Amino acid sequence: MNLHSEYKQKLVTPEKAVSVVKSGDWVEYGQFATQAVVLDKALAARRDELRNVKIRSTTRAMGIPEVVKVDPKAEHFTYNSLHYTGVDRESQKMGNCWFVPINFHEVPSWYRNTMEVDVAMIATTPMDEHGYFNFGPSCSFSRAICEKAKILILETNPNIPRCLGGRDEAIHISEVDYIVEADWAFPEMPFPEPTEIDKKIAQLIVNEVEDGSCLQLGQGGMPIAVGWFLAEAGLKDLGIHSEIFCDSMVGMIESGAVTNARKNIDRHKVVYTFSLGSKKTYDFINNNPQLAIHPVDYVNDPCIVQQLDKFISINNCIEVDLFTQVASESSGPKHLAGTGGQLDFALGAYSSKGGKSFICMSSTYNKNGVLASRVVPMLKPGTIVTTPRSVVSYVVTEYGIAYLKGKSTWERAEAIIAIAHPDFREELIKDAEKLGIWRGSNKQ
């Protein structure tokens, strides 16, 4: 059978495609900006026919899923996410979203070894002349999902950028059960504009970056600010090896700061596993041979990261306690984000020759109109530790950089208090004394 005939045979309506879903099934919706849209709507229409359908996705960039809207009490559909966005938090408020804790680089092996996938609904580019569908800017573990799925449905969309590999960036029509055609607008997800505090933190970090460094930037305004500063810092031959490819990286490349020429591996290539950003970013990554998208078990593997000299990892957090435990996922039991690749890159960057791992935060935040410290005596009950104190290297606020490796509890308390907001330092010292991690000879 030729490609055209096979495609025509597998092309069905969304309603026909989702008819294969049965009560009790595990259903995959895809990742990031390439998740099921028309198939989600068609599945939601079957609500009253189904019970206990369990759905998984990662970092939803679209609006609230239709299956959540029609079933907020989770009587028919149970929606699960491997990393929270604002959409996931809203779904949770409605009563139908649960978090799946991950070490990001391990996820492909989870699917291949232990996860159940009855039906996978993956958004892709249209088929090319060779019979392949590209996963677009969502390569992380799409291939692993497809391999495990008992039934594979593709939702093709001409608006999805085609991202070159790397590996595992595409799937052949011979492996597909059903095809549904769609034409929704590809979701943009611009990150917040950096604040003045973000810019202060970014400048502190930029001073730690050398020519030939290889960068990983996390999500949020502060890492974006770092990218902007680096684009103008006059540094040479920077590299990028990052789970996310985002807007500021386009500027870094266009400025000439990023050449990838000194990378130990994947030389002359920007390596990433997914992209979220503006249309400018999506246009830049489309069919661009300067970039190579890989699955996350390559990009985030600490054993791969450590092979890149001068690796600089930059990520955000919510708060740090006086024991220097880092929380980036929740405040108490209130879930806000996910582990993502923070732990992966903290481990890999430290093992890199000349590498540095930075965990960043503003020193304060506004809590009901009152200034509150992000350096706290102890994490609130229910707060998730994302990066354990034994792994943390550098913590950065607008007041400076604290290096923590090899330091005792009293030294850590002293270092972290020194970069807290000045208005809270005296009280934090008293807290450290109560906790038994402050010496009389500590700096006052």
Q: Cβ(321)–Cβ(373) under 8 Å?
A: no
Q: Tokens in use for 298?
A: 């390559």
Characterize 156-191 residue by residue with b for buried, 16 or more Cβ atoms within 10 angstroms of its Cβ, and e for exposed.
bbeebbbbbebebbbbebeebbbbbebeeebbebeb
All residues at 6 or more sequence positions from 113 whose CB lies less than 8 Å from its CB, including other chains: none
CA-closest candidate to residue 252, choices 233, 271, 280:
233
DSSP H helix total and E strand total for the chain:
16, 25
Please tell me the distance from the alpha carbon of residue 42 to that of residue 225, in angstroms, as a whole number: 41
The one catalytic residue among 243, 319, 329, 398: 243
Characterize 207-243 residue by residue with b for buried, 16 or more Cβ atoms within 10 angstroms of its Cβ, and e for exposed.
eebeebbbbbbbbbbbbbbbbbbbbebebebbbbbbb
Count the Cβ atoms, other than its own, within 10 Å of residue 94: 16
Residue with tokens 């919706």: 29
Please tell me the distance from the alpha carbon of residue 270 to that of residue 279, in angstroms, as a whole number: 19
- ω into residue 86 within 30 of 0, thus cis? no
Phi, psi angles (nearest 5°) of residue 352? -75, 145
Q: 357: left (phi > 0), else alpha (psi -120 to 50), else beta?
A: beta
Count the Cβ atoms, other than its own, within 10 Å of residue 202: 26
Phi, psi angles (nearest 5°) of residue 103? -100, 115
- Burial of residue 23 (number of CB atoms within 10 Å: 0-12, 13-18, 19+): exposed
Give me the torsion for CA of 408, 410, 416, 417, rounded to 10°.
-170
Q: Which residues pair with 178 in a beta bridge?
A: 153
118 DSSP assignment: S
All residues at 6 or more sequence positions from 207 whose CB lies less than 8 Å from its CB, including other chains: none
243 an active-site residue?
A: yes
**Residue numbers annotated as active site:** 243
